[in-house]
Structure 1
Amino acid sequence: MNDATSSKDPLPENRRRMPRARTLKAGKLLFGGFHKTSIDCLILDLSDSGVHIETAVMINTPETAFLKIQDEIIGPLQKRWASGNQIGFDFITKKD
């Protein structure tokens, strides 16, 4: 295994299935029953398949969550990785 695909680094660009557009937007990570927990976050990049966010502090994120950007709620999301206060999520797609 070469350094670019090492499992030690969750952020390498070449591991993404879809390219993500760099963006800096404020949002809220929502989780728990009826979205009872809301954590402010910064959306670092976004694609059709997932999102990379940063929180002000490290949090114990559940495996599934939702993301609120302005008045739009996006999700459900599946946690893909977490490193420090950065978290990567995949969008969960419904299967017919």
Structure 2
Amino acid sequence: MPDGTDILPPAPPRKEHRRATRKNLSSLGRLAYGGEESRMLNCEVLDVSEAGIRVETYVHPIDIPEFVSMSFGGLYYRARRRWVEGNQIGLTLIPDETQSP
């Protein structure tokens, strides 16, 4: 019979390494990549900051290249993939490449 001593305490909160403050968001977006054999991947934008975007795809994002185009909220961004974890992708926005449709 367990006495409760075998339960681990919760992990301490992770230290935030981002320089910019994130804003939680839930907005549909789209990633585009691939040149001549272009591919589009629907996603949900989870949060944004001045420097980047965290998105979640509806399928496992295999072979996401280093540079992609990202659109959401009526704007288009050029972005660089920083990390992929499960179905989530962290993107750094490339300055001066935001465009209106």
**Same fold? TM cut 0.5:** yes
Which category describes the TM-score, using the shorter chain as reference length? Answer: 0.7 to 0.9
TM-score by length of 1: 0.76
- Kindly report the root-mean-square deviation, in angstroms, between the aligned alpha carbons of the 2 structures: 2.2
TM-score by length of 2: 0.73
The correspondence for 1:25, drawn from 27, 32, 44, is 27
Separation (CA, whole Å) in 1 of partners of 2:85 and 2:30? 18
Supply the AA of the counterpart residue of 2:76. Answer: I
Any runs of at least 4 consecutive aligned residues in structure 1 with deviations exceeding 4 A, and if so which?
none
Shift in Å at residue 77 of structure 1? 0.6
Supply the AA of the counterpart residue of 2:28. Answer: A
Task: Tell me which protein shows more helix as a share of its residues.
Answer: 1
In structure 1, runs of 5+ residues without a counterpart are 5-11
Q: CA offsets per residue over residues 13-67 of structure 1, 9 Å max, x none?
A: 6111211100000010111116821100000001110000000111221101011
Match in the other structure for 2:51: 49
Separation (CA, whole Å) in 1 of partners of 2:65 and 2:29? 17
With over 3 angstroms needed to count, the CA separation of the structure-2 counterparts of 1:81 and 1:70, relative to structure 1, is same
Separation (CA, whole Å) in 1 of partners of 2:69 and 2:37? 8
Separation (CA, whole Å) in 2 of partners of 1:73 and 1:34? 19
Shift in Å at residue 70 of structure 1? 4.6
Match in the other structure for 1:14: 16
CA contact (8 A) 2:27 2:73 kept: no
Paired positions, count: 84
